[in-house]
Structure 1
């Protein structure tokens, strides 16, 4: 019990350290908040899209954009991790009586707080554009929970890749991999409008399952049901693989 308390205390200390960066580097925070809004406006009103979507496209697009925003914006966390590695900050922390992984947990906790803020901003913009939902409080909170679970899983994938990359300049190359993963999904169009092989890829994409589950919980007309289980299992599977890998690699950095 005492070791658990120490681990939580150390993680909270590292979380406050990451939150302090917001005040010193507000531009990065603003960019991460504005980028999903730009995508929502661009695909909803400039580019169009919505192939095969019947009814209100904004109602279909928003849950997909919420899910997509949970996969994007990982480079801030990844760059922060690699910078700490290269500046020797991690070595100094590891020389202290601190729980293994507290630095990573603190970084992920700060990112999750920013993700909550990002969801609030995106939902606020959608409401200003006329979006409404008939979802009850339970369904609405359940949808947000699925989105944040996806973010938490993607975050630990990013942290592990950052530890593998080792240098901030390598993060950009790794981050490019997120784009095809995010766009090969049902965020912008229904799978029935895609070629057969592409529809199969899109259906299996974890982002698609989360987007479909959120649409169902939001009560979007014509939304597919039965995706909530996969929207939980996919992130848990990613966490089961990448969380221990990241913590183990971090623990071996100074050995």
Structure 2
């Protein structure tokens, strides 16, 4: 007697990858909870610099803004967008360290032998770190409001600024994942993203680019963090955005693409022992 068997219905590949991505996201979030020092660093560094620049240099740097009545209060408003971008850069360091830990401890090699969508492994890191960064930014904004940050725009501009910051965090995180995979040790992974922390200093984050020497001002105008900062500042304070928004979105797309392609290439490469 012939037994008829009903073929097992397999979920679509896209659904399988999505479910695996959610699983890897949950795994990375639990990892972050287990190692809270990284989250503290993501929040602590920008908060420390915010307090330092406001209460130590704020009166002098605020007077240099040139606006009538400029001082510490005006400088808090000018400074906060740059501090938020510094927070995103600081989170890239933590992301690279987490990725390097996974790569050096062999867990990624084990994941490759399991029936898991390979894209889900990278997606879990990117989404988890982006979420961690957004939470850190919310805390930094809260501290900035306590020390005198006073946005002048409405709810819609706040929402747009939040969307822009999330896009920037996603782009920088994508690049940081690739940086973590490119290194051979956790120590090297902690150093490679450092330029991302320093670039807000070399842009419009702390002083106007017009006040810089010509060579440095040229670099500041054409590096990605200046349009990032100017766009967020314009949305929150009502200052002219101009072409900064289009430049910021273009930089986000380019950085995300480079980070994704670089990480995928490194992920598919056999890692030497």
CA contact (8 A) 1:142 1:217 kept: yes
What does 1:87-236 align with in structure 2 at a 5 Å threshold?
Answer: 87-220=105-238, 222-236=239-253
- 1:41 alignment partner in structure 2: 51
Residue 14 (structure 1) aligned to one of 19, 24, 30: 24
How far residue 68 of structure 1 moved from its aligned partner, in angstroms, is: 2.1
CA contact (8 A) 1:53 1:60 kept: no
Q: Indicate the structure whose relative CO is greater, using CA pairs within 8 Å and at least 6 residues apart.
A: 1
CA contact (8 A) 1:52 1:192 kept: no
Give the secondary-structure state (helix, strand or coil) at the position aligned to 1:199: helix
Matched, 1:58 2:76: yes
Q: What's the TM-score once normalised by structure 2's chain length?
A: 0.86
Structure 1 residues 70 and 57, CA gap change in structure 2 (3 angstroms):
same
My pick for the range that moved more, 241-250 or 51-60, is 51-60
CA contact (8 A) 1:52 1:193 kept: no
- 1:74 alignment partner in structure 2: 92
Matched, 1:30 2:47: no
Distance in 2 of aligned mates of 1:52 and 1:197: 21
- 2:103 alignment partner in structure 1: 85
Distance in 1 of aligned mates of 2:97 and 2:148: 36
Which is greater in Rg?
Answer: 2
Structure 1 residues 189 and 254, CA gap change in structure 2 (3 angstroms):
closer
Q: What's the TM-score once normalised by structure 1's chain length?
A: 0.92
Matched, 1:238 2:255: yes
Distance in 1 of aligned mates of 2:160 and 2:197: 26
Number of residue-to-residue matches in the alignment = 254
Distance in 2 of aligned mates of 1:91 and 1:187: 40
Residue 249 (structure 1) aligned to one of 266, 270, 273: 266
CA deviations on 1:60-115 (whole Å, 9 max, x unpaired) are 11111112211222222111111111111011101111112211211111111111
Distance in 2 of aligned mates of 1:165 and 1:53: 45
What stretches of structure 1 of length at least 5 have no aligned partner?
A: none
Q: CA RMSD in A?
A: 1.9
What stretches of structure 2 of length at least 5 have no aligned partner?
A: 1-10
